[in-house]
Structure 1
Amino acid sequence: MKTVSIRDVHERFDELAQEVEQGATVTVMRDGKPLLDLVPHVEKPQAGERKGGIDWEAGQAYLRSIGVTDPFPYIADDFDDPLPEDFLITPLPIR
Structure 2
Amino acid sequence: MDSIDLNDADLDLSALTLRMEHGETIVVTRDGKPVADLVPRRRGGIDFEAGEAFLRAAGIVRRPGFIASDFDDPLPEDFLIRPLPEA
TM-score of the two chains, using structure 2 as the length reference = 0.51
Amino acid at match of 2:9: V
Tell me which stretches of 4 or more aligned residues in structure 1 moved more than 2 Å. Answer: 50-54
- Residues 18-57 of structure 1: pairs in structure 2 closer than 5 A: 18-45=18-45, 52-53=48-49
The runs of 5 or more residues in structure 2 that have no matched partner are 51-87
Greater Rg over alpha carbons, structure = 1
Q: Which residue identity lines up with residue 20 of structure 1 in the other structure?
A: M
Per-residue CA deviations over 1:55-75 (Å, capped at 9, x if unaligned) read: xxxxxxxxxxxxxxxxxxxxx
1:18 counterpart SS class: helix
Deviation at 1:43, TM superposition (A): 2.4
Considering Cα pairs closer than 8 Å and 6+ residues apart, tell me whether 1 or 2 has the greater RCO.
2
What residue ranges of structure 1 are gaps of 5+ in the alignment? 55-95
How far is 1:42 from its partner? 1.2
Aligned counterparts of 2:7 and 2:27: Cα–Cα separation in 1: 13
**Cα-Cα RMSD:** 2.1
> Following TM superposition, by how much is the alpha carbon of 1:44 offset from its aligned partner in structure 2, in angstroms?
4.6
Offset at 1:53? 4.5
How much does 1:20 deviate? 0.5
Work out the number of aligned pairs and report it.
50
Distance 1:18 1:53, change over 3 A: same
How far apart, CA to CA, are the structure 2 residues paired with 1:51 and 1:2? 24
TM-score by length of 1: 0.47
- Identical positions, percent: 32
